[in-house]
Structures are given as C-alpha cells and as structure tokens.
Amino acid sequence: MLVPMSILSTKYASVALLVALVSAGLAATGCSSDGGGDTVDLGACPTNSMTQQTAGASLVMTKCVTCHSSTKMGADRAGAPAGLDYDVAATVKSDATSMYTEVFNGRMPIGGALSAADMESVRIYLACLP
C-alpha cells in the first residue's frame, strides 16, 4: 500500500524513498539465460552524457582491460576467458550487457567493486556505444 509522502514524517519519508529506490533497482534486473545471476538492462543513452561516457571508457580501460586484453595470455589474464578482450571494440559492443551485469553484481572488477558513480559511468558508456 502506498502512503502519500505528506502523511509520513521526514524520518519515514527518507526510509520510504530508500525502499522505493532499492525496489526500482531490483525491478531493473531479470533472470539471465546462463543461470549465473541477474542480467541488468543497460537502459538508454542519456543526452548530454559525454563526460560520463568518457569516464566510463576510462574505467573500462583501467579496470577491465588489465585482464581482458587481446595482448595478454595465460596467467596474465587473471582468469579472464580467452576471447573476452575489452580492448577490441566489437567485443565490448557485443558483450556490453554482460560486462555491466558483472560490474553491477559486484563480481567485477577483481579486487573490489566500483563506486555507484563509477558503475553509472560504465553503464552510460556501454549504453551509448554506437
């Protein structure tokens, strides 16, 4: 049951807003076909987002390509599957949803999850790929 915000005290309004935001985030996910967890929709490319696109591209280069590189082999890939090379534009484009899903679910990058702002920059970069 939804309660109008005007009825709620400031304390409860904050809690209600937090619950609504978490619910909206959960609603954006669905079951993936690989059984490995939730797949996250990239959404649309926001207008006037060039700054975030640039930041997202930089994060992919510094956080993803360190392992997912066509120039790395064997142990240097730190377990990244062969062929999943994010220094190859076509691979990034075709794997964008999976890449973001791994980041969103905290499975990547190895060594620690990205901040919410960094995750959003990666999402926007991937959503805006031509």
Contacts 24+ apart (CB under 8 A), 5-13: none
pLDDT of residue 102: 95
pLDDT tens profile 22-36? 333 333 333 233 435
pLDDT of residue 25: 37
Dihedral (C-alpha) 77, 59, 57, 46: value to the nearest 10 degrees? 130
Report d(CA 10, CA 85) in Å as an integer: 48
Which stretches of the chain drop beneath a pLDDT of 70? Answer: 1-37
Model pTM score: 0.71
Contacts 24+ apart (CB under 8 A), 65-70: 66/109, 67/109, 67/110
DSSP 95-122: HHHHHHHHHHTT--STTSPPPHHHHHHH
Report d(CA 116, CA 124) in Å as an integer: 12
Residues composing the chain: 130
